[in-house]
Amino acid sequence: MLRSPLDQLHSSYPDLATQLKSTSTQLHTHSFDTQSIPPVTSESMTPEQVGQQRRRLASEYHSLLAQTRQLPGFESFLQPVKANELICAVRNGPVVVLNCHTGRCDALVIMPGHDQIVHLPLASFTEHKARLARSQLDASLGKKGLRQRGVKSTNQISYEEGFERMLATLWNDIVQPVLCHLGFLSRIYNYAISSYIPNLTALLASTPTQLTHSCRVLAIGQANTPGQSRLPGTTKELAHVKAHMHNKAEYLQLIDSHATTAAVLDAMAQHDWIHLACHASQNVKDPIKSGFHLHDGTLDLSAINRRSFKNKGLAFLSACQTATGDENLPDEAIHLASGMLMTGYCSVIATMWSVDDRDAPFVADKVYAQLMKDGTLGNGEAGRALHHGVARLREKVGEKKFGRWVPYIHIGS
């Protein structure tokens, strides 16, 4: 998680968190390098002194842990969440956990109101098939020019055979067996509204909220970002967002030169929702350096996380590859969308690759229309609104234009 338990402790008890982090770092370092302990004299410490120092640090660490677990809200600090607590987080529909290993692949199905986890072997799927599907996807996206948001030429968005082969593999070997187990058949989007979570803990923290006139919505638009390609569609996109907020919520937009990193960060602290229509980039080597390209630089997750936002609502990331992780770490939720979830937003809409600049305003219009109609957030409403918006886009462009409607995903509650 980008927002670790230690970050949460620091928000409430900064001195204790600093002590715990310092002791933990020293203990970890001394466990691997017996010569790294600063000498108490001009000479190096003896092995006996090293052992005494390590035992002292271990005792101090466990004492600080015990002290932390006496505090309200931190009773289970740095302990795994119990399985029965995670199962209780499943409320609005089945949750399917996929596990792909060299030796086998399986699905774990958790049903609302049930205290048992169902194990479903996926005998037809293999790690090799997963890697092949990823390669087919990358090849298709590369040929179509879908690695950067912007205006696409017609031939770039045309149907690619490799894309359909990849989707067929996922359907035949993973999705269909799961849906058959659940009693569903045919096309998945006729039966399921897909939402993703980095882990079940994300559902535990969700609290449904009513959309009222006091709700504050921030929209960021960058049609002309220095050093980036133009995004003319963002102007229309923000016009749609503004129209839907009229008489429904407080609305502020920062566009082009007004959308500096400092201004946006300060505005985020004052607003409940955020809509980002701009370029973005992932840093797979250092995920907290992933960020959004604004007028004067990149607003990264590290800067957002330092603000310790709490109880935020929707983050709509209408940017480039905001839900794309590291291809070498496919199981790690280290993308921008997951990062926004961990920084305090309960619900995130993002894309797995860059979208057509003409499609983004269309989807945003449909999503916000549905959200304003529902009037609530945090109980699956954002996922349903996105499902509705993507369905309208699919009807408009055609089912075979996978590259245009497939990338949109919802993460969170």
Q: Does residue 214 have a pLDDT over 60? A: yes
| Residue at a domain's end among 163, 190, 217 | 190
Angle subtended at Cα 255 by Cα 278 and Cα 375, rounded to the nearest 5 degrees: 80
Same domain, residue pair 334 and 243: yes
Contact (Cβ atoms closer than 8 angstroms) between residue 53 and residue 26:
no
> For residue 78, is it within any domain?
no
Read off the pLDDT of residues 165-207 as tens digits, 9 standing for 90 and up.
Answer: 889 999 999 999 998 898 876 667 777 788 888 888 777 766 6
Per-residue pLDDT, 41: 45
Residue 292: phi and psi, rounded to 5, are -110, 135
Same domain, residue pair 369 and 349: yes
Same domain, residue pair 323 and 175: no
Per-residue pLDDT, 106: 97
**Residue for token digits 């075979």?**
400
> For residue 79, is it within any domain?
no
Per-residue pLDDT band for 389 (boundaries 50, 70, 90) equals: very high
| Across 277-289, average pLDDT | 86
Going from the C-alpha of 134 to that of each of 9, 48, 140, 162, the distances in angstroms are: 38, 53, 10, 10
Same domain, residue pair 399 and 325: yes
| Across 234-243, average pLDDT | 96
Per-residue pLDDT, 154: 52
Q: How far is CA 120 from the centre of its chain?
A: 26
> For residue 281, is it within any domain?
yes
Same domain, residue pair 205 and 232: yes
Per-residue pLDDT band for 328 (boundaries 50, 70, 90) equals: low
Where would I find the beta strands (DSSP E) of 201-328? 209-210, 216-221, 250-255, 273-277, 279-281, 291-294, 297-300, 312-318
CA distance 223 to 249: 24
Per-residue pLDDT, 319: 75
166: how many CB neighbours lie within 10 A of its CB? 22
Q: Does residue 370 have a pLDDT over 60? A: yes
> For residue 212, is it within any domain?
yes
Same domain, residue pair 363 and 263: yes
The H-assigned helical ranges of 161-316 are 161-170, 176-182, 201-204, 233-245, 261-270, 301-306
Q: Which of 73-82, 186-195, 205-214 has the highest mean pLDDT?
A: 73-82
Read off the pLDDT of residues 16-41 as tens digits, 9 standing for 90 and up.
Answer: 999 999 998 888 776 655 444 454 44
Helices (H) and strands (E) in the chain, counts: 16, 14
Mean pLDDT, the chain, whole residue set: 85
> For residue 76, is it within any domain?
no
At 374 the three-state DSSP class reads helix
Per-residue pLDDT, 146: 58
Torsion of CA 393, 399, 403, 409, to 10 degrees: 60
| Across 232-241, average pLDDT | 95
Same domain, residue pair 266 and 386: yes
Question: Inter-axis angle of helices 14-32 and 47-68, to 10 degrees?
Answer: 150
Contact (Cβ atoms closer than 8 angstroms) between residue 14 and residue 306:
no
Same domain, residue pair 266 and 149: no
Q: Is 274 left (phi over 0), alpha (psi -120 to 50) or beta?
A: beta
At 218 the three-state DSSP class reads strand
CA distance 290 to 194: 25
Same domain, residue pair 320 and 276: yes
Side chain identity at residue 249, one-letter code: A
Question: When comparing pLDDT for 216 and 379, which is higher?
Answer: 216
Torsion of CA 361, 363, 364, 365, to 10 degrees: 80
Q: Residue 296 is part of which domain span? A: 201-412
At 208 the three-state DSSP class reads coil
| Residue at a domain's end among 190, 223, 258 | 190
Q: Does residue 144 have a pLDDT over 50? A: yes
Same domain, residue pair 95 and 152: yes
Per-residue pLDDT, 329: 45
- What total of structural domains would you count in the chain? 3
CA distance 210 to 195: 20
| Across 347-358, average pLDDT | 89
Read off the pLDDT of residues 291-307 as tens digits, 9 standing for 90 and up.
Answer: 999 999 999 999 998 88
Same domain, residue pair 271 and 393: yes
Q: Does residue 356 have a pLDDT over 70? A: yes
Per-residue pLDDT, 403: 87
% of the chain at pLDDT higher than 90: 47
Same domain, residue pair 267 and 374: yes
